[in-house]
Each structure stands twice: as structure tokens, then as C-alpha cells.
Chains A and B, each alone.
Chain A
Amino acid sequence: MDLKKIIIVLAFLSLPILSLNLQKPGENPWILRPFSAFGGFLQNSYLAFSSTIRGTTSKYINLIGVKNDIQSLSEKNQELNAKLLQFEEILMENQRLSQLLEFHSKHGMDLVPAKVISQDLFSERSIIRLNRGESSGIKKGMAVIHPEGAVGYILKSHDSTSIVLLLTDRYAVIDARVQRSRARGIVRGVSPNTAELRYLQRTDDVQIGDLVVSSGLDSIFPKGFPVATVENVTKVKSGITQDVKLKPVIEPSRLEEVFVVLNTKEYSFEKKEPISDEKKEETPEKTQKALSSKAQKTGSDS
């Protein structure tokens, strides 16, 4: 009986061994399948865990890299923005200078380009200082212009700088005409942004929006050069004149570069043509020389 039991137990125990031997090579034994499935599950889990860890770590590692990249990119961006601003500034300066150059070469006047370096300490006074002075041939009383319009005239000239009285200063006066009706008056500064046209007759034709140009009679400004536009006209009941408020063509606070007119050569902006060479030669100095030589000649003859 005991032996029987032993045989049965051994037979049961040998079954798996027998079944193992009966397996074809390469097949997974059935008894190991659950273990291998469990093992596979564990391995998959480990792999998933490991890949998650690796993914997260790499994300963090990448983040550090990204942070560095962002920093370097933002630095580059700032640098490029600064360069862009610089280029824009250069472009604007280039445009301004080419406008000045075009103006300089287009007209037959003797002009000296100058840069505005400062303004007056008192805002009530419309004064600017230029970086050119007597060493560049600039003298007191010379006109200062911008391609868009009249600016003012030289009040004082030092060796390397000069002071300009803007046409909006209450001491500044310019002989001018209303371009449309040819009515003549004197432009006088009132405040940093306004001027007035004085000594116009009551009957003179002036309308809002009219352009006031230099008359050229003062021999400082070229004839017909834009000075201001009419902003308001008031006719007082009693009186022989009319009050004409002007807005200067040029906004003095925005000026950066100007021209000082050394010699207008009687250039007129109304004709748009310079005077002929023959006439150019007939400058007052030459005429005076000719007259004096003539007088000497007649004196020696007599």
C-alpha cells in the first residue's frame, strides 16, 4: 500500500518531467508559461518604468539645454534688435542726409551743412547751437535753412560753433510774402511753435492755409523759400492791419541737420532756376571793383 502510494506520487511527479521531454525543441513548456508570462509582464513593467524614468530625465536634461538655448537665443535676439534699431537709425540718417545732399546739389547756393548740438537753457527762447562756426565761414546774419523750410539766422558765431535765432523767437524777424497773393509783411516769432505776419494791410488777401515764403529782399534768405503757413486770420474792427497767426513749416525741436547759407547767389525758389552765369559774375564786389578801377582810370586820364 505504501509502495503504491509512493509509485503514484512518483508518477505524478514524473509527469512534468515526461511532458518536458515530450516538448518539441523551441516550444515553451506549458508549466513554465505562467512564469514566463509573469516574467514578461514584469520585464515590460520594468521597461515601461525605465523608459518613463529615462523620458522624464531626458526631458529635464533637455530642459536645461532648452533653457541655455533660450538664454543664448534671447541674447542673440536682443543683439539683433539692437542692430536693427541701429540700422533703422542709420537708414533714417541716410535718408535725411541724402535729402540734404540732393538739396545741396540741386540748388546753386553756397551752403554749409551743420548739426544741431544743443538748445537754449530757457525754453522761452528759441535758440539752437550748431557744430560749425567761423572756421567754416559762418558769420552773423547768415540764413539757416532746412530742405523743407526756413529755420532762422545766425545770431553769434564762434570758432567752431554758432548760435541760431530760430524764426519762432520773439526777437526774430524775416521779410516775407504770402505766396498766393504776394502780400508782403514781416514774420515775427511769438512762441516756440508759433509766429505772426505783421504789417500786412487790412485789404491784403490772406487766407488760412496760405504759404508764406521769404521775399528775398533782405538778401539773407533765398527768394520764395517756405517759411510758414497761415493758421489764423483776424481782422480787428478798428485798425489798418490784420492779425495773421503762422505755423512754421519747420518744427524747431525736431531739427537735427541744417544748412547755413553762405551766399544765396540770388537764387529764387519761385523760378526754380538759378540766375545765369553772366549775372552771377556781376556780384556787388565785382561791380564795385569795376567802378573803382573806372574811377582811377578817369582820374589818371584827367
Chain B
Amino acid sequence: MEILKEYISNISGYAIANFLLLALQTSLWHDFMGSLPAPHFILYSIIIFALYQPSKLGFINTLISAFIICNFTIVPIEINLIQCVFLYILVNKLKERIYWHGFTYYWTLTAISVFVFHITYYLLSWSLEESGWAEIQWLFFLGQILISTLFAPLFYLIYNKFEKISFRSSYSSLEEVL
């Protein structure tokens, strides 16, 4: 029962955080920063789900994140779902092959994830959408990778803290889980 409560609090916590962050990314960021690319806030949590959460919970959180994305974009839901799940699986598999402790790993994965997220979007858009290939905006693309990587340490600290708080009884530390 305790575990269930923790799971629910974890899921709802990430859902609320993602809702707030995506609203910020689509409106407030453009108001203050103009045409400067916004960091891909949703990726920070998906990487956490893939790296540090039990697989079932991580997968549920990833699916919920994909549904949250749908509220802030016109991109079809199937593309969002495939993108998020693909990223989740990729990070999970990558962790099994290569892993080192510390936030630099998370940092590196953030940069890779932004790149992968964009590339999968272009491929999916080309194969699934009627209007075909989306034109790649290289400058924006590189800018977003840089800015997302820049914000990664902050989110690593926040989400780590949140993981520890939400799994008070069952979750001893991230290192032990790994």
C-alpha cells in the first residue's frame, strides 16, 4: 500500500512538473527569450525514468509524458508516443552497455537525447505524416541541444531530490538501485 502511494505521488509529481514546464517552454520562454531555442524540458524527466526508475513505473511515466506533450503540440499523438517510448528504450539499453556514476552521465545523455528526439521526429514525420518531410532547422536544432545540455545539471539535482523524497520507504539511493 505504501509503495502504491509512493508510485502515485511520483507519477502525479512528474505529471504536474511536466505540465508546468511545457507551458513555460511554449509561452513564457518565448516572451522573455524571443527566438532563442527553449530547452526540451520533457527530456530531462524521460531520462530520469529510463535511468533511475523501476521499469514498469518508468514506462508508465514515459507514456503519461507523451500524453502531456500532446496538449502543447499539433504533432499527432502516435508520433509523440513513438518518440518518447523509443527514447526511453534507447536510454535504458544504453545504460546496460555503458554507465558511469555522477551527473556527467546524465549530462551526456541529455545531449544525445535531444539529438535523437529531433531525428526520430523527422523520420516519423517523413514516414507517417501526409505532408512528408519536415525541413530541418539546423541552427535551432544545435541551439536546443546546447541549451538543453546547459540546464541538465539543475534538473538532475531537482529530479534526484524528488526521487528520494517520493520513494522515502522503498528507495534507498540511486546508486543502490543501479
Which A residues form the contact surface with B (CB < 8 A)? 117-125, 127, 129, 155-156, 163, 165, 170-171, 190-192, 253
The smallest beta-carbon distance between B27 and chain A, in angstroms, is 4
What residues of chain B lie closer than 8 Å to A125, measured between beta carbons?
Answer: 73-75, 134
Which B residues form the contact surface with A (CB < 8 A)? 22-23, 25-27, 30, 34-35, 37, 69, 72-75, 121, 125, 130-132, 134-135, 137, 140, 144
The smallest beta-carbon distance between A255 and chain B, in angstroms, is 11
Tell whether A120 pairs with B73 under 8 Å between CB atoms, given A170-B131, A253-B35: yes
> Interface on chain B toward A: helix, strand, loop, or mixed SS?
loop
**Nearest opposing residue in chain A for B122, CB measure:** A124
Judge whether B137 and A121 touch: CB under 8 Å.
Answer: no
Judge whether A122 and B73 touch: CB under 8 Å.
Answer: yes
What residues of chain A lie closer than 8 Å to B140, measured between beta carbons?
Answer: 123
**Cross-chain pair count, CB within 8 angstroms:** 57
**Nearest opposing residue in chain A for B37, CB measure:** A123
**Bound complex: CA A215 to CA B148 (Å):** 43
Judge whether A127 and B74 touch: CB under 8 Å.
Answer: yes
The 22 sampled A-B contact pairs (Cβ below 8 Å) are: A118-B26, A118-B27, A118-B30, A119-B26, A119-B30, A120-B74, A121-B25, A121-B72, A122-B75, A122-B121, A123-B140, A124-B125, A124-B134, A124-B137, A125-B74, A127-B73, A155-B74, A156-B74, A165-B74, A171-B131, A191-B137, A253-B34
Which one of A117, A129, A165, A192 lies within 8 Å of B137 (CB-CB)? Answer: A192
**Bound complex: CA A190 to CA B30 (Å):** 22
Which one of A121, A171, A190 lies within 8 Å of B135 (CB-CB)? Answer: A190
**Bound complex: CA A124 to CA B120 (Å):** 13
**Nearest opposing residue in chain B for A165, CB measure:** B74
Which one of A117, A118, A170 lies within 8 Å of B134 (CB-CB)? Answer: A170
What residues of chain A lie closer than 8 Å to B23, measured between beta carbons?
Answer: 118
Tell whether A117 pairs with B75 under 8 Å between CB atoms, given A124-B135, A190-B135: no
The smallest beta-carbon distance between B90 and chain A, in angstroms, is 19
What residues of chain A lie closer than 8 Å to B27, measured between beta carbons?
Answer: 117-119
**Bound complex: CA A253 to CA B36 (Å):** 11
Judge whether B22 and A121 touch: CB under 8 Å.
Answer: yes
**Bound complex: CA A171 to CA B25 (Å):** 23
Judge whether A120 and B72 touch: CB under 8 Å.
Answer: yes
